Structure 1
C-alpha cells in the first residue's frame, strides 16, 4: 500500500471517524431532543391521566354514593330505594313526622320547652315501673319493638311530656273517681254471651227465638252475630265489669240474673247502629272487698289514665287548630293558621303554589 494510499486511507478513516463522531453527536442530540420531547409528552400524558383518573375516581365516588347495590351490570340507585321506601312506608313515617311537627308548632306558640334532662328522667321513671334499669328498658324496646333509643325519646317520650305541659295543671281525683275505679277493677263481673247485629228488625227476630230457648243462644250467635271474635266462641265474651266500656252494655248486664236473656241493647257509642243481646251466665267473685288495700294502686292507675285522656284531648285540639296539608295522601286537616288568620288553601292549590 502506498503512502498516498495510506494517507488517503488514513484521511478517509479520520474523516469517517470525524463524521461518525459528528453524526453520532447529532444523532445523540437529536435523540436527546426527541427523547426529551417524548419523555415530556409522556410525563404530561401521565399527569393528565393521573388527573383524569383522579377526576374519574371522584366522579365515580360521587356516583357510587348514589348507588345502593349492584346486581350483575345493573345498579340500584338511591333514588330507586327512596321511591320504594316512600311507597311502602311513606304514609306511616310521614304521619309520625306530621304529628311531631304539630306538637312542636303548638309548643312554639305557647312557649313550652322540653329539656333533654326531662326526657331522660321520664325514661328512668318508666323503667322503674317494670323494675328495670333505663339501659335494660331501652334494650328491651329495641329487641321487642324495634325502637331505637333515639326513636323512643323523639317519637314517644318527648311528645308525651310536651303534651302534658300543653295540657297544663295536675290531674284532680275525687273520692267518687276512686270508688268507681275500685268497683271496675276489683268488683264482680258478669259472665255473658253476646249476639250483635246491625239491623233492628233482625235483632227483634233473634231476640224472640233466644228468649224462648236460651239454650240455643250459642248457635244463634254463631249463625247471626257480626262480632267475629265472640261468634267463633258461640258468643262468649270476657266478663263485663261495671263502669268499663259501653255504659248501655254494662248497665243492662248487671240487671240480669244467671240464665236470663237481656232485652235488645242499642249501642250509642258506635259509628253505626249496633244491636246487642246478652245471655247472663253468672258473676265472678270480687278480687278484693277492702278498698284501702289497693287505694294507692288505684290512685296511680287513675292518675295515669286521666293524664292520658287529657293528653289525647289536647292533641286532638291542637290538630284542629293547626293546618296540615299532607301531599302524599291528599288529605288536609286543621283549621285556621295562626300566622295568617285565614283558612288555608286546599291541598291541590297549595301543591300548585309550591311547584311554581
Structure 2
C-alpha cells in the first residue's frame, strides 16, 4: 500500500522508543533525561527527609545511613548500608546517570527562567496521541514499552514525554515545509532505491588495493567484503546493505550509487572522516508510489515530525553551550564562562519527591 514505507519507519520508531529518540537524534534520542517532573513542589516528602525552606528552594539534610541488606552465616553477620550501595552505583553508572540529570536540569532551569510549564494534562494528551498512532490505548502502549524496552510508565512520562514537550515550548518556533521538502521526502520514502553490496575501509591505501582486486575479479566482491570490510553488520552478510534511497543522509554515497548500472562497481567513495566505501550495484527497486498526491497528507505529517525533532535537537545543543556545567564527578566544565576550580559550592538540593525546577545554587 502507499503508506507501507512510512509504516516500516514507524515500526522502527517503536523499537527505538526508549533509546536517542525518537526526537534526538538521537537523540537522539537526547530526550531520555532522568526524571523531570512538571508537578508542584508541594508533594509529600519521602520518609526521613527533613527540609528547611530557603527562598524558593529546599535544603535537604542528609538522611540516616539506613541498612539495605543483612547477610548472616553461622555466628557472623554483615550489613550493607545505603552509603555503600550509593558508592557502588556511582562507580558503576554514576557518569551516565549524572549526565542525564544534568541534561534534565538544563531544561528545568531554562523553563524556570522563561516561565514555561508543562502540565500533567499535556503529558497525558501527548501519550494518548502517540498511542493512537499505533492503534493502541495508552495502557496497552505503556505495557508494550515496559515489556519490550523496559521503560516504566513513570520513566516514559518523566524521561521522554516531559522533556520533549518542554523543549518544544522552549524552542517556540513553527517549522516551515516547502514543496521542495515534500518532493525530497517523497523520493526518500517512495522513490526507487539502489540494491547494493558494500566494502568499508578506514584506510585509503587498503581501499585502493581491494578496489583494484575487485575490478579485476568482480565476481569475488562478496568474498572481499567478508575479508576486508570494517563494518561488522554488512561484513557478516557478504557486504549486503539496505537499499540506498535518495536524500537519505550521505550525498556523496547517493550520487555514486545512482550512477551505477547493475553489476557495476563504483570507485572509492569518501563518506566521512577516515571512512571509504566501494559499492557493487545489484539493481534497483521499483518506485512504490508514482503520484505524490496519493500520500501527501501522511508525508506532510511525517516531515513535520522530522523537522520538529531537528529543531529541538538544535535548540537543546545551543542550550547546552550557553549553560555552565561544572561536573565535579568527572572534573570537567562545559559551556558558560565560569571555571570549575576548588571545592563544589554549597548547594540547595531538591528534596526527594519535589519538582526538579526547585533546585538552585546558593553561594555563601
- The TM-score, its normalising length taken from structure 2, stands at 0.73
1:291-320: CA deviation from partner (whole Å, max 9, x where unpaired): 111111111110111111111111100000
* Equivalent position SS for 1:234: coil
Q: How far apart, in 1, do the equivalents of 2:166 and 2:92 lie?
A: 30
Structure 1 segment 187-266 matched on structure 2, within 5 A: 187-266=191-270
Query: What's 1:307 paired with?
Result: 308
Structure 1 segment 154-169 matched on structure 2, within 5 A: 154-169=158-173
Query: What's 2:68 paired with?
Result: 68
- The TM-score, its normalising length taken from structure 1, stands at 0.75
1:260-305: CA deviation from partner (whole Å, max 9, x where unpaired): 11111112xx3x3211111101011111212111111111110111
* Equivalent position SS for 1:177: helix
Q: How far apart, in 1, do the equivalents of 2:217 and 2:276 lie?
A: 19
Query: What's 1:316 paired with?
Result: 317
Q: How far apart, in 2, do the equivalents of 1:277 and 1:231 lie?
A: 13
Q: How far apart, in 2, do the equivalents of 1:278 and 1:125 lie?
A: 42
Contact 1:96–1:155 (CA under 8 A) maintained in structure 2? no
Q: What displacement does 1:164 show?
A: 0.7
Contact 2:328–2:344 (CA under 8 A) maintained in structure 1? no
* Equivalent position SS for 1:194: strand
1:136 equivalenced with 2:140 (yes/no): yes
Q: What displacement does 1:65 show?
A: 7.3
Structure 1 segment 70-219 matched on structure 2, within 5 A: 70-72=70-72, 73-219=77-223
1:14-69: CA deviation from partner (whole Å, max 9, x where unpaired): xxxxxxxxxxxxxxxxxxxxxxxxxxxxxxxxxxxxxxxxxxxxxxxxx9971112
Q: How far apart, in 2, do the equivalents of 1:281 and 1:76 lie?
A: 62
Contact 2:333–2:339 (CA under 8 A) maintained in structure 1? no
Paired residue for 2:343, among 327, 351, 354? 351
Q: How far apart, in 2, do the equivalents of 1:140 and 1:194 lie?
A: 36
Per the alignment, do residues 249 and 97 of structure 1 end up closer, same or farther by CA in structure 2, a change over 3 Å counting?
same
Q: What displacement does 1:141 show?
A: 2.2
Q: How far apart, in 2, do the equivalents of 1:200 and 1:147 lie?
A: 43
**Can you give the 5+ residue segments of structure 2 that lack an aligned partner in the other structure?**
1-62, 348-363
Q: What displacement does 1:352 show?
A: 5.7
Q: How far apart, in 1, do the equivalents of 2:182 and 2:342 lie?
A: 50
Query: What's 2:295 paired with?
Result: 294
* Equivalent position SS for 1:114: coil
Q: What displacement does 1:74 show?
A: 1.3
Contact 2:200–2:229 (CA under 8 A) maintained in structure 1? yes
Contact 1:190–1:253 (CA under 8 A) maintained in structure 2? yes
Contact 1:198–1:274 (CA under 8 A) maintained in structure 2? yes
Q: What displacement does 1:158 show?
A: 1.0
Q: What displacement does 1:142 show?
A: 2.6
**Can you give the 5+ residue segments of structure 1 that lack an aligned partner in the other structure?**
1-62, 337-342
- Structure 1 residues 72-81 or 297-306, which shifts more? 72-81
Q: Whose Rg is larger?
A: 1
Query: What's 2:282 paired with?
Result: 281
Q: What displacement does 1:353 show?
A: 5.5
Contact 1:199–1:275 (CA under 8 A) maintained in structure 2? yes
Structure with more of its chain in helix, by fraction: 1
Per the alignment, do residues 155 and 350 of structure 1 end up closer, same or farther by CA in structure 2, a change over 3 Å counting?
farther
**Deviating 4+ runs (over 4 angstroms):** 352-356
Root-mean-square deviation (CA), in Å?
2.0
Q: What displacement does 1:82 show?
A: 1.6
1:177-205: CA deviation from partner (whole Å, max 9, x where unpaired): 11111111111110111111122222222
Q: How far apart, in 2, do the equivalents of 1:353 and 1:158 lie?
A: 29
Q: What displacement does 1:153 show?
A: 1.4
